């Protein structure tokens, strides 16, 4: 059963761009016909931080972000497979920890391939990062080129979920 239009008004979407040294996040709220960027940021770690520390830290940060902002939905980028098998495995474990955090908080979650995000934001699944930034600045003028690229990606991921919700209720 598809959500009703009125039920969608209180939706807060957490977009997450997982990374091993920096993970971007952004919260978009559905307000009428326009998205509202509530907050965005990134979580970073030092090179010498252990993988176990990063897993615990991402859990703590996301738990606070979700709790402090009444997040109802989440979208996460499904990263491409790296040619380095070890890096791909570690990133998959990290993504699993993020997904577990969302599941423990009963947050509805969806995954997007990078090409899907590009298509939602620009209409072209093969566009450049610069084109994505341009479209995001058009939608959210406070997003600028100095913003961390993981944070920008997280905004695009959350906005993709926003657009997909609009498609479902048409």
C-beta of residue 13 within 8 angstroms of C-beta of residue 162: yes
CA distances from 92 to 54, 77, 134, 162 (A): 13, 11, 30, 25
Question: Which one from 77, 108, 151, 153 is the annotated catalytic residue?
Answer: 77
Annotated binding-site residue numbers:
17, 77
Question: Which one from 4, 17, 130, 167 is the annotated catalytic residue?
Answer: 17
Annotated binding-site residue numbers for Mg(2+):
17, 77
Catalytic-residue membership of 49: no
Residue 10 DSSP one-character state: G
Q: Which string of DSSP letters, residue by residue, matches 61-118?
A: HHHHHHHHHT--EEEEE-PPPPSSHHHHHHHHHHHHHHHHHHHHTT-EEEEE-HHHHH
Rounded Cα distance between 59 and 106, Å, is: 14
Strand partners, 17: 24
Catalytic-residue membership of 77: yes
Question: What is the set of active-site residues?
Answer: 17, 77
């Amino acid at each position: 059963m598809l959500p009703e239009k009125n039920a969608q008004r209180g939706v807060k979407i957490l977009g997450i761009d997982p990374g091993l040294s920096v993970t971007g996040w952004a919260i978009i709220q559905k307000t009428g016909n326009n998205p509202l960027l509530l907050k965005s940021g990134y979580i970073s770690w030092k090179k010498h931080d252990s993988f176990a520390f990063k897993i615990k830290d991402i859990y703590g940060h996301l738990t606070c972000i979700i709790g402090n902002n009444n997040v109802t939905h989440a979208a996460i980028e499904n990263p491409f497979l790296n040619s380095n098998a070890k890096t791909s495995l570690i990133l998959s474990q990290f993504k699993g920890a993020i997904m577990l955090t969302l599941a423990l908080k009963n947050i509805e979650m969806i995954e997007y391939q990078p090409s899907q995000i590009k298509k939602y934001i620009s209409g072209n699944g093969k566009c450049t990062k610069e084109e994505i930034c341009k479209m995001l600045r058009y939608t959210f003028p406070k997003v600028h080129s100095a913003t961390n690229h993981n944070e920008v990606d997280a905004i695009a991921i959350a906005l993709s979920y926003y657009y997909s919700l609009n498609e479902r209720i048409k």
